[in-house]
């Protein structure tokens, strides 16, 4: 049970406080309700670019890292298709420094051409190194637009194409900040050796004066139900043939999400999971194989990916995967098998409650979903999933007409 207190500032900033006297540390985590799904199709990659720009200094604090390091703090951030999250961990005695740093860049980020040029180049290099210039690096640049035709999940967090970042202009960046980096679009969580009254005082002092602006209304196009199988074959300079099969699955708050999550664990969590045990160890068809879902707030993708052994054809490998998926549709899983993955999920969640950073990030995320208390009820949703629920969800997911298959064929001359 993660206990917390909650209050909201007059400008709309939601603040959650988790008091934990067992640690001398504190975490200040701020989640902005903006991700790659909020970008314009012709200006993608902006949410991730902005994550970098936020460390370029604010009007009153030219160097973010300098004051942070001076008080023994560590900071970082991440961007997904749904959110952008910033955090700073530091000795609780230096808590006010984190409030000063985070509030100033929400109030007045320093917009200058030098910072934009530097961060634009950093992101462009990341795009090239991680997505364009390494084997299988462009998987999500291909798989997302293959599976999604309408919803903005059709591009990766890094963006659709390099040119969108290369051509980012100052006016575009300022407009992005003005729209999304506002108090009412943020959730602040403070966790660790802190007191709620003190946090409230600091929040009022540092974030209270920031003027509220109207929260934007998110209106994203719904992805229509897929009616036929899609397929793309890529000849590339990759070490091994590889295949990826993506299926549309339920959104984070829809019925079936927890059954889908358990399905991914049944198939590939650990060496006793079905895909590893049968296709890697027993039949010796794959060198590696995994199943997972994207964990998105809107409609998810459930992905099975594998690399067949050199002596195994892609046709045989693909058929073997479908055989295992179809078996889940026709044969109920045993209570023992299902309980095993439920227990693993429970242990993961228990360990997550031991770290104040994990607790802070999870509280912010569940508050975004509707109620931070959902974190404390999360495991209950898994425990009520039955073998019949698993079988029904497998039947909804694993259909040919619901699949998008991406295949890499090794070709050193490509």
Alpha-carbon distances, residue 81 vs 36, 156, 159 (angstroms): 4, 7, 10
In a shared domain, residues 320 and 375: yes
Residues 144, 182, single domain; the answer is yes
Q: Does 202 lie in the same domain as 273?
A: no
Instruction: Report pTM.
Output: 0.94
CATH number, domain of 92, equals 3.30.830.10
Buried b (16+ CB within 10 A) or exposed e, 187-221: bbbbbbbbebeebbebbeebbbebeeeeeeeeeee
Tell whether 48 and 15 lie within a shared domain: yes
Asked if residue 183 and residue 42 are part of one domain, the reply reads yes
Report if residue 224 sits inside a domain.
Answer: no
Are residues 242 and 201 part of one domain?
no
DSSP string, 208-260: TTSPP-PPP---PPPPPPP-S-EEEEEEES-SS-EEEEEEEE--TTSTTHHHH
Judgement on whether residues 245 and 204 belong to the same structural domain of the protein: no
- In this structure, the answer to whether residues 243 and 198 fall within a common structural domain is no
Tell me which residue of 326, 310, 300 sits closest to 242, measured CA to CA. 310
Q: Does 332 reside within a domain?
A: yes
Which of 175, 208, 241 lies at the terminal end of a domain, its last residue? 208
Alpha helix (H) ranges present in 41-94?
Answer: 46-53, 65-70
pLDDT at 414: 58
Residue 54 belongs to what domain range? 5-208
**One domain for residues 117 and 256:** no
Does residue 220 lie in a domain region?
no
Residue 165 shares a structural domain with residue 239: no
Question: What integer pLDDT is reported at residue 212 of this predicted model?
Answer: 86
User: Looking at the domain assignment, is residue 214 inside a domain?
Assistant: no
Considering the domain architecture, whether residues 128 and 237 belong to the same structural domain is answered as no
**Structural domain contains residue 213:** no
Q: Is residue 293 part of a domain?
A: yes
Q: Considering its fold, how many domains does the chain have in total?
A: 2
Distance CA(161)–CA(236), nearest Å, equals 19
pLDDT in tens, 308-333: 999 999 999 999 999 999 999 999 99
Residue 218 domain flag: no
Catalytic option among 19, 39, 51, 378: 51
Q: Is 51 a catalytic residue?
A: yes
Taking the C-alpha atoms of residue 325 and residue 333, their distance in angstroms, rounded to an integer, is: 12
- Alpha-carbon gap, residue 181 to 34, rounded angstroms: 8
The dihedral built from the CA positions of residue 104, 106, 112 and 116, taken in this order, carries a sign that is positive
Same-domain check for residues 248 and 391: yes
Which pLDDT belongs to residue 62? 84
C-alpha to C-alpha distance for 382 and 343, rounded to whole angstroms: 10
Q: What is the pLDDT along the chain (414 residues), one digit of tens a residue?
A: 899 999 999 999 999 999 999 999 999 999 999 999 999 999 999 999 989 888 888 888 888 888 898 899 999 999 999 999 999 999 999 999 999 999 999 998 888 888 889 889 999 999 999 999 999 999 999 999 999 999 999 999 999 999 999 999 889 888 998 999 999 999 999 999 999 999 999 999 999 999 988 777 899 999 999 999 999 999 999 999 999 999 999 999 999 999 999 999 999 998 889 999 999 999 999 999 999 999 999 999 999 999 999 999 999 999 999 999 999 999 999 999 999 999 999 998 888 888 999 999 999 999 999 999 999 999 999 999 999 999 999 999 999 999 999 999 998 765
Residue 83 lies in a domain: yes
């Amino acid at each position: 049970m993660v206990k917390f207190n909650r209050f909201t500032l007059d400008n709309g900033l939601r603040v959650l406080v988790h008091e934990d006297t067992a640690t001398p540390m504190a975490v200040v985590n701020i989640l902005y309700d903006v991700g790659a799904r909020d970008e314009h199709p012709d200006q993608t990659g902006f949410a991730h670019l902005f994550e970098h720009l936020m460390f370029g200094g604010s009007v009153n604090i030219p160097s973010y890292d300098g004051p942070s390091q001076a008080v023994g703090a560590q900071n970082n951030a991440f961007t997904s298709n749904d959110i952008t999250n910033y955090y700073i961990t530091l000795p609780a005695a230096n808590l006010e420094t984190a409030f000063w740093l985070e509030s100033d860049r929400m109030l007045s980020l320093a917009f200058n051409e030098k910072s934009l040029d530097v961060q634009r180049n950093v992101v462009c290099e990341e795009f090239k190194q991680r997505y364009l210039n390494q084997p299988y690096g462009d998987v999500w640049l291909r798989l997302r637009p293959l599976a999604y035709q309408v919803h903005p999940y059709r591009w990766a967090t890094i963006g659709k194409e390099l040119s969108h970042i290369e051509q980012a202009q100052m006016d575009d960046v300022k407009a992005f900040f003005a729209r999304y980096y506002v108090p009412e679009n943020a959730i602040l969580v403070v966790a660790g050796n802190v007191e709620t009254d003190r946090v409230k005082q600091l929040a009022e002092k540092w974030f209270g004066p920031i003027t509220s602006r109207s929260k934007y209304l998110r209106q994203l196009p719904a992805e229509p139900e897929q009616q036929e199988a899609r397929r793309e074959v890529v000849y590339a300079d990759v070490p091994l043939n590889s295949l990826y099969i993506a299926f549309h699955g339920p959104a984070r708050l829809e019925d079936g999400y927890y059954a889908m999550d358990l399905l991914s664990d049944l198939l590939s969590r650990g060496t006793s999971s079905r895909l590893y045990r049968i296709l890697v160890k027993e039949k010796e068809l794959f060198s590696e194989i995994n199943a997972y879902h994207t964990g998105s707030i809107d409609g998810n993708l459930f992905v099975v990916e594998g690399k067949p052994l050199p002596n195994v054809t892609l046709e045989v490998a693909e058929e073997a995967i479908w055989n295992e998926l179809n078996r889940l549709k026709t044969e109920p899983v045993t209570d023992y098998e299902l309980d095993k993955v439920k227990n693993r999920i429970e242990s993961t969640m228990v360990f997550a409650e031991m770290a104040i950073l994990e607790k802070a990030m999870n509280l912010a995320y569940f508050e975004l979903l509707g109620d931070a208390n959902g974190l404390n009820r999360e495991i209950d949703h898994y425990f009520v999933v039955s073998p019949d629920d698993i079988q029904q969800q497998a039947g909804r997911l694993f259909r040919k007409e619901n699949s998008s298959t991406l295949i890499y064929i090794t070709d050193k001359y490509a």
